[in-house]
Chains A and B, each alone.
Chain A
Amino acid sequence: MNERVVVAPGAIPADSEIADNEVDLAPAIKVRGYWQSVLHRLRYDWMTIGFGLVVLAIVIAAIAAPLIAPFDPYQQSIVGRLKPFGWRGHPWGTDELGRDMMSRLIYGGRISLLMGLAPVLIATVVGGMLGVIGGFAGRVANTAIMRTMDVFYAFPSILLAVAISGAMGGGMINGIISLSLVFTPAMCRVAETATAQVKNLDYIEAARASGASTLTIIRHHVLGNVLGPVFIYASSLVSVSILLASGLSFLGLGVQPPEPDWGLMLSTLRQSLYVDPLGCALPGIAIFVTSICFNLVSDGVRGAMDVRG
């Protein structure tokens, strides 16, 4: 039986005995770029897409809070305290001061997202810069930067955040600063490791030999390699940041009342646990859903970015 053979172009050795008329050349394979490959993988990762949509919905709700919140989140009503779901147009009931729970949860998303993203962003920029400098410069600069960061590693993250916030006092800004300080050493470590891995590679040597300045080498050749791991690590920290920020607010060291922060809401509502257990649980559910969605999306993106491995 004379079967036709399908092979890829260029796959036929020069001395092949297969006749040309017996071969159908396969269409040329389109080689995707790195980011195209990442997107391609993500396109078929339904779980990541699903959780990403939840994150997107939370972000949109937070941004559009004044448009979609049914009530003013600060409007109190003592006669309407701790009312159940659906009471007088309050879909999720009211809190201990008679404020609409749904509105406060929607507005609370703004603060929680800010407290989740801002410290990670600051830590990424500061820690990333320090890591790249330490990793690229080596020697004394590396020792000075990395040993300083090691000091921060000596403390558990939540303890360090509580200590810094306690020393500086409560408030959203101080909370962001304390969490940024908590995340910076880890970010610095990731950037330093990635930089150290590439700084002696041939193409860096070649760039150096061709007369490129240090800044140029870092900008064009190092950052491209460092950004991937840093981005992956940063995305995984967002959920941690939301949790820690909520913890600080719960302890009275983060966002200050009467701001509708989820951690703070959880703290004040816990006294009413025996009266309105479901209402008390809502801020906790919001924290859980948001942080787990961020975590799973981060996990999905990390998996998609792991193309080379």
Chain B
Amino acid sequence: MTCSALKMLSWCGAMAGLIAGGLVAPTSPAGAAGVLKVAMTAGDLPVTTGNPDQGFEGFRFVGWNLYDALINWDLSKSDTASDIKPGLATEWHIDPANHKRWIFTLRQGVKWHDGCDFSADDVIWNFQRISDPKAPQFFTQQFALSRAYLTNFDSIEKIDDHSVAITTKFVESLFPYDMSYVLMISRCRAQALNYDWTAYANQPSGTGPYRFAGMTAHERMELVPNNDYWDKARVPKQDRLVLLPTPEAATRTAALLSGQVNFIEAPAPDAIPVLKRANMQIVSNVYPHNWPYILNFTRGPFTDLRVRQAANYAINRDDVVDLVGGMATPQYAEVPPSLPYYGHPVIYKFDKAKARALLKEANCLPCKVTLAISTSGSGQMQSLPMNELVKQQLEDAGFEVTLNVMDWNALLDVSRSGVPKYPNVDGMNASRGLLDPVSAIIKPVATAYWSPAGSNWGHFGTPEADGLVKQIFEEFEPEKRLALLTRLHEYESEQALMIFVVHDLNPRALSPKVHGFVQAQNWFQDLTPITVDP
């Protein structure tokens, strides 16, 4: 052996010893053991200026972590459907003398992340910011992102430092649900920055359980616990929360397997066995989500009830569930059976012969329809293969389907603009959030919510539906209201309001080092109880 070879060998041995001793081993930043790193499905970081974009995922990871609404969601349980709970308002009730006036009692002792005190003036200021174009703090971006929840908002007034009253345009007993989607930002910080919203986006201030710690545009956002959070049970248990937009399912899977992240949203169903073999935790739960085709009621074949029923009978939902690796449940009605107003809807079991007979009776055989679909998107599941399968199933029953494929943002435009702008689209495949009864079953049928102002995309409207909605809105007795909601849900099923396909089970994959996550039956999730092993 030559001298240089001996030197090399001894150098390698010394290095091996140092590495074994941990002297030159790759080091982690201080406290990295408690860092929760999440790969989101979003294509970009959600905005931080109040209500986030990027769909409900924006609310899930940024909105609810930085901010609170007057009313929050209870995300602490996985075995029951989650409902609203007090947030920045400790209590709310209808004015007995005026059923359009809601009185909210505000929480005292709450501080913004910037140290200012939360008060009634902040609430007034926030509502003006998203509804009053003459107010200096009016921000068009936030107006657009909040508009859908302000359909019935008319005005707001300060009663005293710790209570406000909100007046609605029409009587609506379910109005508090809308208030759970309006997040409150710090007036103090916005004024200190002279309403420079770009600057605010880089130093946002809320009252939520996390404080903003930094952001690299389009790449990552970091949040740290707000140890002064008013709800002591929800002070985050990790050191830091890192959010990474990772729209590709395969990339998210690879990131988890390689240890780049320790929490991923929506792994590809086909990759779940691989993740299980790598000892990853797969968690899933029913939640108020559906993956239907929303139909056009102004023109085309779906104006005929028999055609809508035929389409529902044509769907072999078990095959769709198989396609997504069992990470879905068959959808036979608008909402999943776990919701209290499910009732006894018509069950459109797969029956190809019946579907064909209905099409023949409707004199629509072959029945040509154009369906708008997206290549991917928040809640869209495995969009392309699922749509291809449904197309085949519909065609087997006598439909002739043209899929109009577009990207997610283009489909969102179709969704927001509605049939007035897209009259030639017979149906649209857009997953729906069904968190509250108004979003789930009232908005899709009430004429007051016709697109583009509301989310009744296809302009469904019948006197029966409007009558039931009116009764629901004017009923303040919960039990009686529940009966009316159940009847409305059953009515929508009888009307074959949509082509019902599946409810997602919302799978997530977690590193074995992650503990304490409780997957609520909700689009929103609480990350605060999570701990991460070193």
Which residues in A have some Cβ–Cβ distance to B below 8 Å? 74, 76, 78-79, 81-82, 96-97, 166, 169-170, 251-253, 256-258, 267-268, 270-275
Contacts and interface: CB of A to CB of B under 8 A. Distances in A.
A166 B407 contact: yes
A177 to B, nearest CB: 17
Interface of chain B, main secondary structure? helix
Contact of B270 (A97, A257, A272): A272
Contact of A170 (B270, B273, B382, B405): B405
Contact of B389 (A82, A97, A251, A270): A97
B250 A252 contact: no
A271 B406 contact: no
B387 interface: yes
B382 A271 contact: yes
B388 A97 contact: yes
A275 B389 contact: no
Contacts of A169: 404, 406, 410
B407 A271 contact: no
Given A78-B322, A252-B405, A258 B391 contact: yes
Contact of B253 (A74, A267, A274): A274
A78 B323 CA distance: 7
A101 to B, nearest CB: 14
A201 to B, nearest CB: 51
Contacts of A78: 319, 322-323, 389
Nearest to A254: B405
Nearest to B402: A256
Max chain B C-beta neighbours (<10 A), residue from A79, A267, A272, A274: A274
Contact of B274 (A166, A271, A275): A275
A258 to B, nearest CB: 5
B271 interface: yes
A274 B374 CA distance: 24
B249 A252 contact: no
A170 B406 contact: yes
Contacts of A270: 248, 250
Interface of B: 248-250, 253, 268, 270-271, 273-274, 319, 322-323, 374-375, 382, 384-385, 387-389, 391-392, 403-407, 410
B389 A76 contact: yes
Given A166-B407, A252-B375, A258 B388 contact: yes
A257 B253 contact: no
A270 B407 CA distance: 17
B389 A257 contact: no
Contact of B392 (A74, A79, A253, A268): A74
A144 B76 CA distance: 67
Given A256-B404, A271-B382, A272-B270, 18 more contacts: A97-B323, A97-B392, A166-B407, A170-B404, A251-B375, A252-B374, A252-B405, A257-B388, A257-B391, A258-B388, A267-B375, A268-B385, A270-B248, A271-B270, A272-B268, A273-B250, A274-B250, A275-B271
B250 to A, nearest CB: 5
B268 A267 contact: no
Contacts of A253: 407
A81 B268 CA distance: 15
27 contacts: A81-B322, A81-B323, A96-B270, A96-B323, A97-B388, A97-B392, A169-B410, A170-B406, A252-B374, A252-B384, A252-B405, A253-B407, A256-B404, A256-B405, A257-B388, A258-B388, A258-B403, A267-B384, A271-B250, A271-B270, A271-B385, A272-B268, A273-B250, A274-B250, A274-B268, A275-B270, A275-B273
Nearest to B250: A273
Given A76-B389, A96-B385, A275-B274, A257 B319 contact: no
B405 A271 contact: no
A165 to B, nearest CB: 10
B256 to A, nearest CB: 11
